[in-house]
Amino acid sequence: MSTLLTCSRCGAPVDRESRFCRSCGNQVSAERGPLPTGPAPTTPIESGLLPRLRSVTLGEYEIYGELGRGGMATVFLAHDIGLDRKVAIKVVAPSVLEAGSGMGERFKREARTAGALSHPHIIPIHAVREVGQIVYLVMKYVDGPTLDAIIRQHGPLPIAMVQTILVQVASALGYAHKRGIVHRDIKPANIMVDEEGSAVVTDFGIAKVANARSLTMTGATIGTPAYMSPEQCAATEVTGASDQYSLGIVAYEMLTGRTPFQSDSVGDLMMQHFNDAPRAIGEMRPDCPSGLAGPILRMLAKEPTGRWPTMEAAVAAIGARVPEAHDPVRTELMTLARTATIRITRAPTPGSPVPPVRPAIPPRPKTPFGKGALWGGAAVGVVLTLAVGAYFARRTRPPEPPPAELPAQSAAHVIAALEIADAPGALNPGDHAQLTASARNASGARVGSATVIWSSSDRSVAVVSDDGTLTALAPGSTTLTATSGGASANVDIIVREPAVAILEVKPRTANLALHRTVQLVAVAKDARGSPLAGQRLEWSSSNPAAVTVSRTGLATAIAAGTATVTAAHDDVRSAPVTVTVPPRAPSRPGILQMLIVPAWAYVFIDGVARGQRTRGLDTLAARVTHRLRFERDGFETIDTTVTLRPGEQRLITIQIKRRSP
């Protein structure tokens, strides 16, 4: 008997110091002492669940044994006798029904909620029943492992496989969100991979219908702590953005093999959801392209408004697509579904009991009867005989043989390596190139007709179509990955900054008066003639004594003359722009008359002494501001200015004052 603790709900190993299961969130306690490993313990009430289920499904379902147990219900593997198929029967635990009123109604609401959903990646519900104290639903049996089991067995998954699972689960959740249904407990244990290589979502057991408020528990924290959104931790209203957050954690775990937040304390784990930023995916998974890691980290935004507006928007950002039937990634998922170690507790239990034989009925006295009654009795006898024979034939028939394994591929067709040919080293935005990926087997021979999946680490820089056509979009670098049959190859692509091939400047000519300006505008274009924004240009003037030009292309006339102005970017120069500054026409001077009171003072005009005056008549240039100064001993000095128009005559009186003693 092992001394390791195991979760009573899912059977996963639990550290002795842990207070809850990291896999399913079930609360455990290290103070209980060692527990035996193996099937989860049952209470006396739960131990009698199997025979009670057999009794209420007698003749309709043959119960094989237990598949698993959760917080509210136990799931059994059964055989649908009427339709001859395997099914899973989920039975609500009697202890849950007895714990409070309305739990049975809540379980049936789950069935109605999930039963209303019809989507290829949601497990369908066949029936819901309530017989006596047994409430159960019948659903499709998925013969495959949970995503949780796959991650625990294989660790981080291939990039293409992560994208495939994400697009399938996200499409299912987006479908439910459009119908007002939020799952509220997305985690790897609730995602299964079926025998067709498809991921399917199960357990809408705590799903909430948006308009069914009468059955909503206010302030209830529902979910698995490691995968709960911040709004779930706060027990506030949740929307489809909460499922997106949980799916982001699932994606993080698929890529890195661990959840972004981990702690043995539920409270500490919730605080991490509220406050801590997840560690960068690239640090633990260097081969993860930024075009995948970035959108996943946005799914983990603390505020719902910071996440993608819809699941469809998240899928579009990830760049994933639904795989076709013969897609190599889907083939790998089918292989995982067959080879993964699935934790199932199938108790060796007998089939449904044979109905008890009723005591013989004493013969009734003979009474007259007609031919109709005779034939009716005979018909009933035949039907009973056939029914009993069919029942015992089914009971004694040999067990169904296991499904035939798919034929193994020959070594010559198994892809061992990929080579990318014809990859350009650098491209310009808008350029196209055709990429070719050659698949080879272990011996180095080429494998024909291999399906190749292309991806780009930064789809804003360059993208690759399904046929290998590369399109450069914007400057930067990206890593292109080709994947086929489990093999992959990478090539780095650089998209250069667009080169300037043409510079056009407008206007082509300009006539400027002295001290006037004109704004020259330059447009840079590439070889295709497409405008290029944000290019740094150098401006120059052939005659800076007459025309100057600033770094922004502003030309200013400072003297009469002609200049050619050009713009340049590296070795590319624009056509010259001719700027002409005509000479200014001479203007008539003005005449200034002065009268000084009291009589006489020394006069200075523009710093030049004009002698001692009482009156004066001076001819001065027009449109020029002239400085006047008047000085006399014992009097205050007067400074003033005057500007004359052409031909103007002006008289000014200058009154000087004595200085104070």
User: Active-site positions?
Assistant: 185
Would you state the structure tokens that stand for residue 144, as one six-digit string?
A: 């495959």
Contact 476, 495 (CB under 8 A): yes
| Rounded CA Rg of the chain | 44
Q: What is the DSSP letter of 658?
A: B
Q: Is 113 exposed, middle or buried (0-12, 13-18, 19+ CB in 10 A)?
A: buried
Residues 6+ apart with CB under 8 A from 288: 159, 255, 281, 282
CB atoms within 10 A of CB 516: 13
φ, ψ of residue 318 to 5 degrees: the values are -70, -30
Question: In whole angstroms, what is the distance from residue 295 CA to residue 315 CA?
Answer: 9
**Are β-strands 476-484 and 572-573 bridged in parallel, bridged antiparallel, or unpaired?**
unpaired
Pair 171, 118: CB distance under 8 Å:
no
Q: Are 269 and 261 in contact (CB under 8 A)?
A: yes
Q: Amino acid identity, residue 59?
A: G
**Token pair of 109 as six digits:** 């609401």
Rounded-to-integer distance, Cα 339 and Cα 342, Å: 9
Closest listed residue to residue 643, CA positions, set 604, 589, 596: 589
Instruction: Show the tokens assigned to 449.
Output: 């007709």
What letter does residue 278 receive in the DSSP assignment?
P
357: its two tokens: 């034989």
**Rounded to whole angstroms, how far apart are CA atoms 569 and 320?**
41
Give the closest residue to 588 by CA, choosing from 645, 641, 642, 652: 645
Q: Which amino acid makes up residue 521?
A: V
Rounded Cα–Cα distance for residues 583 and 588 (Å): 16
Strand, helix or coil for residue 175: helix
Strands 61-69 and 73-80: antiparallel
